[in-house]
Amino acid sequence: MAKALSEILAEDVRAALTAVLGDAARDADPLIRPSDHADFQANGVLPLAKAVKGNPRELAIRVAAALVPAAAQPGSADAGSPAVSTSGVIAAVEVAGPGFLNLTLADAALAGQVAERLGDARLGVSPSTIGQTTVIDYSQPNIAKEMHVGHLRSTVIGDALVRLLEFDGRTVVRQNHLGDWGTQFGMLIQYLVEHPEARPAQAEHSGEVAISWLTALYRDARAEFEADGGFADRARKRVVTLQGGDEESLAAWEEMVAESKRYFEDVYGRLDVRLVDADAVGESFYNPYLADIAADLEQRGIAVRSDGALCVFFDGVKGPDGEPVPLIVQKSDGGFGYAATDLAAIRHRVGTLKADQILYVVDSRQALHFRMVFETARRAGYLPDGVEAVHVQFGSVLGTDGKPFKTRAGQTVRLIELLDGAVDHAVATVAEKNPDLDAEQARAEARVVGIGAVKYADLSTSRTKDYIFDLDRMVSLTGNTSVYLQYAHARIHSILRKLPVGTEPRVHADLALEPAERRLALQLDELGATLATVVAEFEPHRLTTYLYSLAQTFSDFYENCPVVKAPSAEVRENRAALVRLTGDTLKLGLELLGISAPDQL
RNA sequence: GCCCUCGUAGCUCAGGGGAUAGAGCACCCGCCUCCUAAGCGGGGGGUCGUUGGUUCGAAUCCAACCGGGGGCACCA
């Protein structure tokens, strides 16, 4: 696999530092950074000069001399500098400011990187975590309920992380922790039993029909629950019979679960995310283990009875009254809450799924809950030292008024409606840009563009912050949106299609590069480093930033460096190689975010 | 009250020790006989919430304060 230029430079500069300073520099970080003043700059001389109490500028001059043979450094020929064996990628070094090293790379080195990545299916990026298993819990919709913007964030971010982690070599186990249990099911089942006509007339129906009747069921059942005390009593009894395994109750419950899954599948299909039925593990799955968890924790003294509830307490977790606030494993009425379920899920994920890492892509409002659950699981040994558990939290979705995102009428926004809105919006733009497309083709293209825009908007802002959901902005399709990247990718394929017959993307390392070509090659080289950060921090927005910047650099190249009409066959092939690699990089990057990149737009 | 989180251009956001703080939107001015103008170039616009501290160097790290949002016993 290709080593990135920044890594090669780090090794070279470290070698030069060590040659000049000896062991004092052996573990020093050369602090290689992209630079406005050269291809890269090394900032590592300054702290090192401080450490050895030397003059930073003088030290920088000696390191520069060691990096590049005196011949290339007319100003600082220094016979006393020790020779250093380096990779040879550096063409020139300049000492600037208080002791920065401005590093300019040889054109041939840039070309060499392009050549190496171009021929590789992974574009020269090596997987770093082969053999490790990540369990990732995301999406988490509730049975018999609409999905809304909160689910959108979890689903989109989770799906991107799945793709990114898999690309990094991990085995990824998706877990869609469905809300399929709770007292509200007593009410729903009872209503359904009493009103069989609430079901849709046709057996075969869409996900949209499924959620629409379930939503009506929920609404009507709640209304009757509040209006009719007799029904409320029967609903409460129904909870008990359901938990007792009553067949009629279970059948109704299973029917609702199946209907909901039909709807989820519809939504996931529209969103083009990889969640499937087999990934769904509802809360109810853990029911058989809850009593055992409670008994185990109580018996080992990790949890104690307090006001009848089985509780785990923590240092520094207090309520407004100054009293400690516990994690409640078992309620005083004997029932189990979601803390018990989450603990059982950890056991399952560690014990059965063999997780090395467990991720929870959940709203930041759950931060305290997860802190307590993880801490409890650590104490109980359910979460051993070798297993990492991370609450991959994200901020709330707000409307343009800065308040929680709602419709004008104050309702939560239905996910399907929101996605349809984005696609409808895109249809208009697509039709305007491509008048010759028929309605069906325009619709298909608008789906790719519109859904991509929604996902990109969500993924491109830093995860932990709240974010303002502005459909108009995200589907405006200008500027920093997914369509900019898709457009760059489509232009690339247009170029590749128009190459004269017989022209292949081929690197000619002996050609001098123009500034726009250099910038493009340099940026292409940073894909691996970008992905490494994204995976380490679970921050997909760093990838969107990289891709957007890459597409901007490509636009600059596009304006300044004709490919099809290049001045010579060699230049044409060389540029075609850059274009091809840029296209592949955009395509891969978007794919890892869950966004499609068609060859034509 | 305690804990978490966020304050960067008119708006939405990047940047999380390194040189003159960036992008998009909006606004103004230019660019299609030329590989897709869903694009490109230029312009105006900032006490990086405040005050201290650490450092050769702070938007970035630390502390305090101010302001927004969130969470804090049997709902998930």
> A437 beta carbon < 7 A from strand B?
no
pLDDT class of A362 with cuts at 50, 70, 90: very high
Task: Please provide the average confidence, as pLDDT, over all residues in chain A.
Answer: 93
Answer yes or no: is A507 CB < 7 A from strand B: no
Q: Nearest residue (Cα to C1') for B35?
A: A495
* Structure confidence at residue A214 (pLDDT): 96
The 10 Å CB-count burial string (b at 16+, else e) for A122-152 is ebbbeeebeebbbbbbbbbbbbbbbbbbbbb
- pLDDT recorded at residue A101: 96
**Nearest protein residue, CA measured to C1' of B6:** A465
pLDDT-derived band at A71, boundaries 50, 70, 90:
very low
Q: Which of residues 145-174 of A touch strand B (CB under 7 A)?
A: none
**Distance of alpha carbon A136 from its chain centroid, rounded?**
12
Backbone angles phi, psi at A194, to 5 degrees: -80, -20
Give the per-residue pLDDT at A369. 97
What is the average per-residue pLDDT within A301-311? Answer: 96
Of A374-383, A471-480, A513-522, A589-598, the poorest mean pLDDT is in A471-480
Walk across the sheet containing A309-312 and list its strands: A304-306, A309-312, A327-330
d(CA A255, CA A180): 12
**Which tens digits make up the pLDDT trace of A121-174?**
999 999 998 999 999 999 999 999 999 988 999 999 999 999 999 999 999 999
Q: What's the CA gap between A442 and A543, in Å, rounded?
A: 29
Average pLDDT over residues A446-471: 94
Query: Residue A473 CB closer than 7 angstroms to strand B?
Result: yes
Which of A16-30, A71-85, A360-374 bottoms out in mean pLDDT, i.e. has the lowest? A71-85
Closest CA to A154 of A258, A266, A267, A285: A267
User: In this predicted model, which residue has the larger pLDDT, A260 or A472?
Assistant: A260
pLDDT above 70 for A444: yes
* Helix, coil or strand: residue A496: helix
| Predicted pLDDT at A69 | 65
Q: Which residue is nearest to nucleotide B3 (CA to C1')?
A: A317
Residue A178 pLDDT > 50: yes
pLDDT (0 to 100) of residue A471: 86
Q: What is the reported pLDDT for A89?
A: 93
Listed in order, strand segments (DSSP E) in A418-482 are 467-468
Does A469 or A384 have the greater pLDDT score?
A384
> Is the shortest CB-to-strand distance from A449 to strand B under 7 Å?
yes
Q: Between helices A367-380 and A338-351, what is the axis angle to 10°?
A: 50
Other CB atoms within a 10 A radius of the CB of residue A381 amount to: 13
Check residue A401 and give its pLDDT.
Answer: 86
Distance from C-alpha of A573 to C-alpha of A545, rounded to nearest angstrom: 29
The predicted-structure confidence for A102-114, as pLDDT tens digits, reads as follows: 999 999 999 999 9
Average pLDDT of span A517-527? 96
Most distant CA atoms of chain A, gap in Å: 99
Return the higher-pLDDT residue of A470 and A70: A470
| pLDDT(A577) > 60 | yes
A564 Cβ nearer than 7 Å to chain B strand: yes
User: Do residues A123 and A585 lie in contact, with contact meaning Cβ atoms separated by under 8 Å?
Assistant: yes
- Is pLDDT above 60 for A314? yes
List the beta bridge partners of residue A359.
A136, A390
List all residues 6 or more positions away from A197 whose beta carbon is below 8 Å from its beta carbon.
none
Amino acid at position A73, single letter: Q
**Alpha-carbon gap, residue A440 to A155, rounded angstroms:** 28
Q: Is the pLDDT of residue A78 over 60?
A: no
- pLDDT at A76 > cutoff 50: no
Contacting residues 246-275/A vs strand B (CB within 7 A): none
For A537, how many CA atoms within 13 A lie in the half-sphere containing its CB?
Answer: 14
Strand B closer than 7 A to residue A215 Cβ: no
Q: With 70 as the cut, is the pLDDT of residue A79 above it?
A: no
C-alpha A190/C-alpha A435 separation (Å) is: 54
ipTM: 0.97
Average pLDDT, integer, range A443-463: 95
Confidence of residue A77 (pLDDT cuts 50, 70, 90): very low
